[in-house]
Structure 1
């Protein structure tokens, strides 16, 4: 993002705490601009110009991505709309192999001469890179798909929903929180539409229309006597859905200490609960440090899965490609080769899945033209696989890519990104209440918050939004100042039970950061509520 765009968008009045959770790409555009996809026939003609130009200059492989990326931000605070911003980014990225080496170039000038010159530049860069590269790129085979298309299965395009309907919803959310006793409330609706076209010398011409939505808010309650304050952020999960996500259904409600949702989201009910719970947090007792059994809700556990399972099983991290920026991984190749590395207990079954409907990472094809897949990462507690793309797959003996290559935009080169990584539900019928009734001394944690993890994704600390004390199988009240510490292997080996599929829900991130220059991707992580025995809990209260 350009500095002028950053200043423009941050000047909208988004609170600092919420802005840090939202990536912004593209340049602001006027309201009412045309958001319909570019004609497929035109994109194919442009792609063929690139493929032919690159081949004529000596490229042995070429792929071209034509991308139109649309974002919409609806920002409110208390009783007013602070801003509405649409952004757009449109252009082409060209990746080639020449003399056994990668080259990349991009352009937003899409006339024939400009895109042909960009293709020639990509080939020239590859040839220069080849001067210092000792091992040529090895791509596993990929059969061309011909002309195909894929679209997120949405019921209602959120970009086409009248703006008044969206602002009325957010203002009613704010009003509900204020009537519930909140002192301050911010709410935001963030929409994404990726219109992507991929073509390659393998014979693929793939058109995709991808939609994502993220409603979020932050409610703050102040104790007028002490000046202390507590905040409760929304328990929504960003989703690969249309505006139907904002239409709650009775069947999606999960009753418990607070009402949570499976595939739809009741933002109003969550705001009302948030105001009450922020007040309860002010009065909650501070936790006593020690060992506890933890009952972790999917709204919390998704982040622990993301950091301690998703990242360390990315093959580029394992190989050291990310070492300079984001670190490496404790899950080295020898652990996978042994076929017996004990990652977790037998209750731990984790899959990677780019096909999961409603997830952030769901696509028909990745940014190398590989059809989306599902595969095992951890099976019965044993490390069985990683996440790999076309130029990595041969390293671990795969005959095809796992289809997890992605770029945040047309102007950035695609590389290995995290698939949806999820903990599978337990096979024995079990709900949250069934799990809690067997816990003598524990804490039930809901929602995500701060975390810290080392550069090998091994030693970590996580906290949440809401904490409830469990004594002798019953919830006895709210706690505060809770965080837990462990290492990845110890933590996942302490997993004693996972609730069944009726409790399975998705969490996720719109902005998983990786690479240099850094790119953001959107990814979901699903689970049912899970029980972890004897985890070390610390008190995070500041001592003054």
Structure 2
């Protein structure tokens, strides 16, 4: 499911039956069931059944994933609760290499016989697949870690917070927006807990507990005189955190055109500002097309990073594995092999990081049992690496996987997924105001909006939530109908300034789609506010021709 489709369904108050029918969401459960746990010793016993059965049938490598995936949705509109949904998906997947080919099978029947049969089926599939291979699977070496665990460093488990407290928060958010002049508002909380157990014939038994949360809303303001309307969506970022994300701290405030927070979120304050800004957008001046210097807030820039940097550096796209569905990449292997391909200006340093605290993609180990870390993707504007997993590492001459393998459910086979890909902050002390002061003709963009990008992740167009005109180093008023167009290389080479670490923030996507059958993953992208010079801006309300 694409992110925009999911937002539409949940924002419109989809029934519990429809939400529970989304692949991977599982079956409805009582809220208190989410606090139950599965004994690690029992998971190890189940994993050993699969490992032994696969080895007995001729597997040369086996990994087992036992997953319990919990979701909670709280959905409101104006003064009404539209839905409260709790789901659970629990089962086991077995992946093997036999006769040089991959095989995979899964089951939600977790008795010994069913688990053994799933493992045997995976081996049979691998042997059939091997008949079609031109070369066998090559796995990068991976040591076993024995019995280890990793838990997301959350402060408050969102599933422990009473439903009433969550409902009261959302209805309070709605009331604040309506009081501020909104005509309509949908708001919701989406919480995820992945309880994942991984075991492999390499000797790893890894238990992980992962938490994510996403509070958001959608405000609409109508001009009674003209019937025209404008919207303002929440400026929140989905995060790999617990309920503490909703406890904004004064020390985290970032003052600007609208108040944002670093690492925390004040939903009430954002709704209040959102209602006011939706009204301002109705009266805002329509942008004049032309070349502008852009000041891009992290709440906007994350999506541009995701599409123009994250996707084209996925090695499976580079190799053409996703060509039939998600597309390919302009960052072909010859560009990496040259060791001098100019991706952006010298200020552009992009890092992949699967360990970043608070990020959506943060885990201790990936779904191949590889210990996660970080690595450079773009260094001083030059392409230096991609994102690879165990059966791809040899293509890049890597001694080990980079640890970015993921499956969205126990019933899905794991494959290469995007790590947290982030633009590093500027090294010199520089604030948002400092960036704006140097702009003669520009636009300051906050929040993500509609976008379009080609199948090679090269030519693109991006909009946002809020736009402010900059003249002679000062913000002079609101704009609307703004979108910028560029190509990836031209855009990142126009990067001339980045705010320092004190402004660094994460954005991200809960539902990044890829693969056939399609899977979704959650991934974050960080940056500080960044300046790009001479970017082409169009007016989205004007007809062409």
Same fold (TM over 0.5): yes
Tell me how far apart the structure 2 counterparts of residues 109 and 25 of structure 1 sit (CA, whole Å). Answer: 17
> 1:82: Cα distance to partner?
1.0
Tell me how far apart the structure 1 counterparts of residues 253 and 14 of structure 2 sit (CA, whole Å). Answer: 30
Contact kept, 8 Å, 1:348 with 1:492, in 2: the verdict is: yes
Helix, strand or coil for the counterpart of 1:463?
strand
1:88-487 equivalences in 2 (<5 Å) = 88-487=88-487
Helix, strand or coil for the counterpart of 1:59?
coil
Contact kept, 8 Å, 2:436 with 2:473, in 1: the verdict is: yes
Contact kept, 8 Å, 1:23 with 1:511, in 2: the verdict is: no
Tell me how far apart the structure 2 counterparts of residues 543 and 302 of structure 1 sit (CA, whole Å). Answer: 29
Contact kept, 8 Å, 2:34 with 2:159, in 1: the verdict is: no
Does the alignment pair 1:541 with 2:541? yes
Tell me how far apart the structure 2 counterparts of residues 45 and 468 of structure 1 sit (CA, whole Å). Answer: 59
Helix, strand or coil for the counterpart of 1:92?
strand
Moved over 3 A (4+): 9-12
> 1:80: Cα distance to partner?
1.3
Contact kept, 8 Å, 2:246 with 2:266, in 1: the verdict is: yes
Contact kept, 8 Å, 2:511 with 2:522, in 1: the verdict is: yes
> 1:10: Cα distance to partner?
6.4
Tell me how far apart the structure 2 counterparts of residues 30 and 373 of structure 1 sit (CA, whole Å). Answer: 37
| Structure 1: gaps (5+ residues) | none
Contact kept, 8 Å, 1:12 with 1:83, in 2: the verdict is: no
Tell me how far apart the structure 1 counterparts of residues 516 and 294 of structure 2 sit (CA, whole Å). Answer: 36
Tell me how far apart the structure 1 counterparts of residues 485 and 519 of structure 2 sit (CA, whole Å). Answer: 29
Tell me how far apart the structure 1 counterparts of residues 543 and 325 of structure 2 sit (CA, whole Å). Answer: 33
Contact kept, 8 Å, 2:79 with 2:174, in 1: the verdict is: yes
Tell me how far apart the structure 2 counterparts of residues 361 and 11 of structure 1 sit (CA, whole Å). Answer: 24
Cα RMSD after superposing both structures:
1.5
Contact kept, 8 Å, 1:318 with 1:333, in 2: the verdict is: yes
Contact kept, 8 Å, 1:241 with 1:358, in 2: the verdict is: yes
Contact kept, 8 Å, 1:497 with 1:531, in 2: the verdict is: yes
Tell me how far apart the structure 2 counterparts of residues 498 and 146 of structure 1 sit (CA, whole Å). Answer: 43
Helix, strand or coil for the counterpart of 2:541?
coil
Contact kept, 8 Å, 2:24 with 2:408, in 1: the verdict is: no
CA deviation map 1:261-314 (0-9, x unaligned):
111100000000000000000000100000000000000000000000000000
Tell me how far apart the structure 2 counterparts of residues 79 and 527 of structure 1 sit (CA, whole Å). Answer: 36
> 1:83: Cα distance to partner?
1.0
Helix, strand or coil for the counterpart of 1:450?
strand
> 1:23: Cα distance to partner?
8.6
> 1:116: Cα distance to partner?
0.1
From the superposition, tell whether residues 378 and 10 of structure 1 become closer, same or farther in structure 2 (CA, over 3 Å). closer
Helix, strand or coil for the counterpart of 2:346?
coil
Output the TM-score relative to the length of structure 1.
0.96
Output the TM-score relative to the length of structure 2.
0.96
Helix, strand or coil for the counterpart of 1:118?
helix
Contact kept, 8 Å, 1:296 with 1:530, in 2: the verdict is: yes
Tell me how far apart the structure 2 counterparts of residues 100 and 128 of structure 1 sit (CA, whole Å). Answer: 10
| Structure 2: gaps (5+ residues) | none
Tell me how far apart the structure 1 counterparts of residues 275 and 386 of structure 2 sit (CA, whole Å). Answer: 42
Helix, strand or coil for the counterpart of 1:447?
strand
> 1:30: Cα distance to partner?
3.0
Contact kept, 8 Å, 1:285 with 1:478, in 2: the verdict is: yes
Contact kept, 8 Å, 2:141 with 2:400, in 1: the verdict is: yes
CA deviation map 1:209-247 (0-9, x unaligned):
000000000111000111111110000000000000000
Tell me how far apart the structure 2 counterparts of residues 164 and 12 of structure 1 sit (CA, whole Å). Answer: 21
From the superposition, tell whether residues 292 and 312 of structure 1 become closer, same or farther in structure 2 (CA, over 3 Å). same
Tell me how far apart the structure 2 counterparts of residues 78 and 542 of structure 1 sit (CA, whole Å). Answer: 33
Tell me how far apart the structure 2 counterparts of residues 461 and 334 of structure 1 sit (CA, whole Å). Answer: 26
Contact kept, 8 Å, 2:11 with 2:75, in 1: the verdict is: no
> 1:13: Cα distance to partner?
2.0
> 1:33: Cα distance to partner?
2.2
CA deviation map 1:399-444 (0-9, x unaligned):
0000000000000000000000000000010000011010000000
Helix, strand or coil for the counterpart of 1:465?
strand
Match for residue 82 of structure 1?
82
Contact kept, 8 Å, 1:235 with 1:270, in 2: the verdict is: yes
Contact kept, 8 Å, 2:294 with 2:535, in 1: the verdict is: yes
Contact kept, 8 Å, 1:220 with 1:230, in 2: the verdict is: yes
From the superposition, tell whether residues 468 and 23 of structure 1 become closer, same or farther in structure 2 (CA, over 3 Å). farther
From the superposition, tell whether residues 24 and 235 of structure 1 become closer, same or farther in structure 2 (CA, over 3 Å). farther
Tell me how far apart the structure 1 counterparts of residues 418 and 11 of structure 2 sit (CA, whole Å). Answer: 32
Match for residue 64 of structure 1?
64
Contact kept, 8 Å, 2:11 with 2:187, in 1: the verdict is: no
CA deviation map 1:501-538 (0-9, x unaligned):
00000000000100001100000000000000000000
> 1:24: Cα distance to partner?
6.8
